[in-house]
Amino acid sequence: MTAHTATSAAGRGVAALSAALRERRSGLRRNDFTRTALECWIGRVDGLEQAPLPAGYASLDCRNNRLAWAGLTQDGFLEQALAAVQRYGAGRVAIVLGTSTASIGATEEGYRELADDGVFLPAYRDFVLHTPHSLVTFVQRVLGARGPACTVATACSSSAKVFAQAERLIRLGWADAAVVGGVDTLCDSVLFGFNALQLVSPQPCRPFDAGRNGISIGEAAGFALLERGGNAAGAAQLLGWGESSDAHHMSSPHPQGRGARQAIAGALQRAGLDAADIGYINLHGTATPANDAVEAAVVADLFPAQTRASSTKGWTGHTLGAAGIVEAVACLIALEQGFIPGTLNCSEPDPLCGPQLALDNEAAAPQVALSSSFGFGGNNAALIFGRGGRA
Amino acid sequence: MSALQLRIAGIGVYAPGLPDWPQAGRALRGESVPDTSSLARPAPPLLPAAERRRAPETVLYAAQAAAEACAMAQCEPAGLPCVFSSTQGDIAITDYMCATLASAPLELSPTKFHNSVHNAAVGYWSIATGCEQASTAVSCWIHSFGAGLLEAALQVADTQAPVLLVAYDAAAAGALRSAIPFDCGFAVALVLAPAGQGSGPQLSLTPAEPGPASLPRADWAQALIARNACADALALLQALAGAQPVQLRIAAGGEFALSAQVQP
């Protein structure tokens, strides 16, 4: 993995996210996004309203692609991705990005401004803008890549699963490099949708706290560049991934976390590691009563007491389809900078939590980190990253 | 790079005038001309009765084609990893969501919201069949059939075990009709297996030089492609229905295509 970046309410780029984590400075604020009042906290990225896409991309302009652009232009990621396209050839660079709702905010806008006869105004008639593939279409045009391109839209596991799909593409010879990641933006669909499911907290989310009462929704963009043999120069590595399905319920996790366990076991097996090898776990930790109860029990059961685990959603909010990549970047920060972010807003942990849960930030130098992501439809993914310099 | 060598172990179709694979095969061989004017709501055998009544149309289309493909392949659905691919998912639900959000956002239905996720169809399928294998929901605009085919084929090559591919889309609804040209539903399912396993036509995939995608022969089949992007699959289905080896180009992205060699 030769480049990575993340932009969220906790800041633009890796240094900003890292500083927010170290200083325990949350990016959450009271909801100032929806036209109809909704009492909740959100992780909003400032400045997108004043930052249209560069000339030439006007037909793809929407909040989601503006955030994609803001994310691509941090940490020198765009230059490194363009250099990879140059180095390998446009047809040998794949783009696999995750999103839950992509540009649906633009569709929502179109519906608020319908013409008298009930059709979209001309500005809203671009077909791709009303599909999940608008994000990949935009990033592919920016990079000029012409290899395999695919959108993964499995709700909150989307931008974790992209690592598995891209790794297969590279290992089986269909690409030499891949841009992976994901982008999701605040929109009415998710704010009022999760509200309808009674999963949104009126307060800042409190992952794993005994008194937690729901998620805070955030927006984020994150990207990573995977290259064949990209273990040169001390770059962090993707060591393993696991995928599974709960086969249980559309919007509630399996009560014993069967799917979560299978995804974690699959990732460990692929990496050739034991649970005891994992130094840090970035948990899905959404702060819904159900998710955190199941996940707390799974981690307490599978991992030794010295493994450190935390949820960083108190900083960013739940960034849905972008959560996988943002939390992968949080794992890389832990590996590269040698510290464990704690669990912001958790003051009294649920008794189900094991000794693994880190509340305060801790100084440690994990060699291997695991990130888990679980989505609606019972869709699970786990990723394992190794610190640069490992064999 | 070596070609992906596969066997097509099972095929399922649910589309206007093509209610199953045997009838679609006859039509694609030119033995009949289907009436493609309408598509009834199917009752997929593997979904519980309650879901057959209330599930979104896309879930039913996908499950109908998937069940047929699994039966033909004699594969237990619970054991098959799933790749579900769709341009836009359930457009009628997107129409409901956006219309409700524009008028009365606090009245949004929680069920419609969780049914609005792009992975709703594969979620319902995995729940109904008890499938705990990896499942994914992908999209590649109007090239979703080809992109899904590549992802499923790579999973087969990775695990040397069969994988279920389902590509589906529904007719546009409401204001989205002014942006999305689909006017009918279409679902196709394939059980892909490693070339060395079982019986069925052989399929070999390599990257293709950019160029126009292969089209099916019949006017009605070409018309369906304009009416629903997943009907892109008809060129491959025509080859699978035939008796001769065929070389095809299948669009799998804006500027990426698959070269497919079919050996019936």
Q: What is the pTM of this model?
A: 0.98
- The torsion region of residue B162 among left (phi > 0), alpha (psi -120 to 50) and beta comes to beta
Mean pLDDT of B204-221: 95
Report the chain A residue with the minimal C-alpha distance to residue B119: A154
Average pLDDT over residues B11-19: 98
A156 is catalytic: yes
Confidence of residue B201 (pLDDT cuts 50, 70, 90): very high
CA distance B90 to chain A (A): 11
Please report which helix (H) or strand (E) contains residue B142, including its range: none
Kindly name the residue from A40, A156, A331, A353 that is annotated as catalytic: A156
In chain A, where are the structural domains located? 3-386
Taking an 8 Å cut-off on Cβ atoms, the answer to whether B136 and A152 are in contact is yes
- Chain A residues within an 8 Å CB radius of B146: none
Provide the pLDDT for residue B210. 81
Q: What are phi and psi of B45, to 5 degrees?
A: -60, -30
Tell me if residue A333 falls in helix, strand or coil. helix
Asked if the Cβ–Cβ distance from A132 to B139 is below 8 Å, we say: yes
A193/B112 Cα distance (integer angstroms): 9
What is each CA distance from B143 to B62, B85, B184, B251, B258, in whole angstroms?
A: 17, 9, 17, 6, 11
Band (pLDDT 50/70/90 cuts) for residue B185 is very high
Tokens at A353, concatenated: 């939590």
Pair of tokens at residue B44: 């997929």
Q: Looking at chain B, how many residues does it have?
A: 264
Average pLDDT over residues B28-56: 95
Q: Is B68 left (phi over 0), alpha (psi -120 to 50) or beta?
A: alpha
Closest residue to A248, CB basis, from B127, B174, B180: B127
A149/B253 Cβ within 8 A: yes
Contact: B105, A192; criterion CB under 8 Å: yes
**The pLDDT of residue A234:** 74
Quick check: A196 and B113 CB within 8 A? yes
- Best probe of the B interface among A141, A174, A264, by most B CBs < 10 A, is A174
Within 8 A of B135 by CB-CB distance, chain A residues are: 154, 243, 245, 377, 379
Residue pair B138/B85 in contact (Cβ under 8 Å)? The answer is: yes
Judged by a CB distance cut-off of 8 A, whether residue A202 touches chain B is no
Contact A131 B151 (CB under 8 A): no
- Measured in angstroms, the CA of A328 and the nearest CA of chain B are apart by 19
Average pLDDT rounded to a whole number, residues B128-151: 98
| Paired residues of B250 in beta bridges | B258
Does A270 contact chain B (CB < 8 Å)?
no
- Rounded to a whole number, what is the largest CA-CA distance in chain B? 58
Nearest CA to B235 out of B214, B209, B256 is that of B214
Nearest CA in chain B to A98: B138
Paired tokens of A150: 């695919």
> Residue A148 and residue B177: Cβ atoms within 8 Å?
no
Mutate one of A60, A95, A127, A142 to test the B interface: name it (highest B CB count within 10 A).
A127
- Helix, strand, coil shares of chain B, percent, nearest 5, are 40, 25, 35
pLDDT digits (tens, 9 = 90+) for B87-111: 999 999 999 999 999 999 999 999 9
Mean confidence (pLDDT) of chain B: 97
Q: Which CATH class is domain B4-199?
A: alpha beta
- Residue A88, chain B, CB below 8 Å: the answer is no
Q: Is A9 in contact with A316 (CB distance < 8 Å)?
A: yes
Q: Each residue of A47-61: pLDDT tens digit?
A: 999 999 999 999 999
Surface of A (329-388) touching B: CB under 8 A:
375-379
CB contact under 8 A, B113 and A193: yes
Q: What's the one-letter identity of residue B54?
A: R
Quick check: is A248 catalytic?
Answer: no
Q: Which residues contact A328 (CB under 8 A, 6 or more apart)?
A: A4, A159, A160, A163, A222, A224, A282, A371, A383, A385
Among B49, B141, B131, CA closest to B83 = B131
Establish whether A254 is a catalytic residue.
Answer: no
A79: which residues sit within 8 A by CB, 6+ positions away?
A: none
A103 in helix, strand or coil?
A: coil
Q: Which two tokens stand for residue A50?
A: 């004043």
Task: Give me the CATH code for the A3-386 domain, please.
Answer: 3.40.47.10
Kindly identify which residue of chain A lies nearest to residue B4, measuring between CA atoms: A172
What pLDDT does A275 receive?
98
Packing angle between helix A134-143 and helix A63-72, nearest 10 degrees? 40
Query: Residue A18 and residue A346: Cα distance in Å, rounded?
Result: 19
Q: Positive or negative CA dihedral for A112, A113, A115, A121? A: negative
User: What are the structure tokens assigned to B93, written together?
Assistant: 């639900």
Question: Are the Cβ atoms of B123 and A174 closer than 8 angstroms?
Answer: no
Give pLDDT < 50 ranges for chain A: 390-391
What's the pLDDT tens digit per position in B49-99? 998 998 999 999 999 999 999 999 999 999 999 999 999 999 999 999 999
- Which of A154, A157, A171 to mutate to test binding with chain B, by most B CBs within 10 Å of its CB? A154
Residue in B81, B63, B14 with CA at minimum distance from that of residue B228: B14
Answer yes or no: do A245 and B134 touch at CB < 8 A: yes
% of chain B beyond a pLDDT of 70: 100
Q: How far apart are CA B93 and CA B112, in angstroms?
A: 7
- The one catalytic residue in A4, A133, A254, A284 is A284
Q: Do residues A361 and A24 make contact, with C-beta atoms less than 8 angstroms apart?
A: yes
Does A120 sit within 8 Å of B179, measured CB to CB?
yes
Q: Does A89 touch chain B (CB under 8 A)?
A: no
Chain A contact probe: residue of B132, B143, B164, B228 with most A CBs at under 10 A: B132
